Each structure stands twice: as C-alpha cells, then as structure tokens.
C-alpha cells in the first residue's frame, strides 16, 4: 500500500468510527479514537457478517483491499455500546 492509500484508509476508518460514536452516544474522544474504533469495528463487523453468513455491505476498495463500511459502523457501535455498559454511567 502506498502512503496515499494508507491515509485514505485512515480517513475512511475515522469517519466510520465517528458515525459509530454518534450512534452509540459516545462523543468527544478525538480523531485517533475514531480511527481505532473504525478499525476495531471493521474487524468485529466482518467477523459477525461471516458468522451470520451475511453479505459485505458497501465495501470500499483501498489499495486492492476491501473495507466494509456498513459492518465497520455496526461493529464499532456495538463495541462502544458494550464498553459504555461495562463502564457504567458517570454523573
């Protein structure tokens, strides 16, 4: 992968992680957290789609590899919701 492809992948992962944070009600953690959540979500979401034998929804090809947008958002939102439930509420 070239440097430009890596940067595009980081941007796509950051956007997916940011959308997932908004869906799960987790906000204000920064760009690096959004990128990490996007990648974790892609791993978790892709695993879930393989286990449930569901198709890859809206994949983006970057550097000859597929990045599953919808599964990344779903996986990251699920991951954030689980983390939020484990941490409990802060008042």
Domain ranges of the chain: 8-87
Cβ neighbors of 84 (< 8 A, separation 6 or more) are: 24, 25, 26
Helices (H), 1-91: 3-24, 31-51, 69-87
Check pLDDT > 50 for residue 91. no
**Whole-structure pTM value:** 0.80
Q: What is the per-residue pLDDT across 3-33, written as a single tens digit (0 to 9) for each?
A: 888 888 888 888 888 888 888 877 667 788 8
Mind listing the pLDDT tens digit for each residue in 25-70? 776 677 888 888 888 888 888 899 889 998 887 888 888 888 888 8
Tell me the C-alpha distance between 35 and 19, whole Å.
Answer: 11
């Amino acid at each position: 992968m070239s440097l430009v492809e890596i940067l595009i992948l980081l941007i796509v992962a950051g956007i997916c992680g940011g959308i997932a944070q908004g869906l799960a009600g987790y906000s204000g953690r920064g760009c690096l957290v959004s990128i990490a959540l996007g990648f974790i979500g892609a791993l978790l979401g892709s695993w879930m789609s393989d286990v449930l034998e569901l198709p890859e929804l809206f994949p983006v090809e970057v550097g000859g590899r597929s990045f599953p947008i919808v599964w990344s958002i779903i996986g990251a939102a699920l991951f954030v919701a689980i983390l939020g439930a484990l941490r409990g509420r802060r008042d």
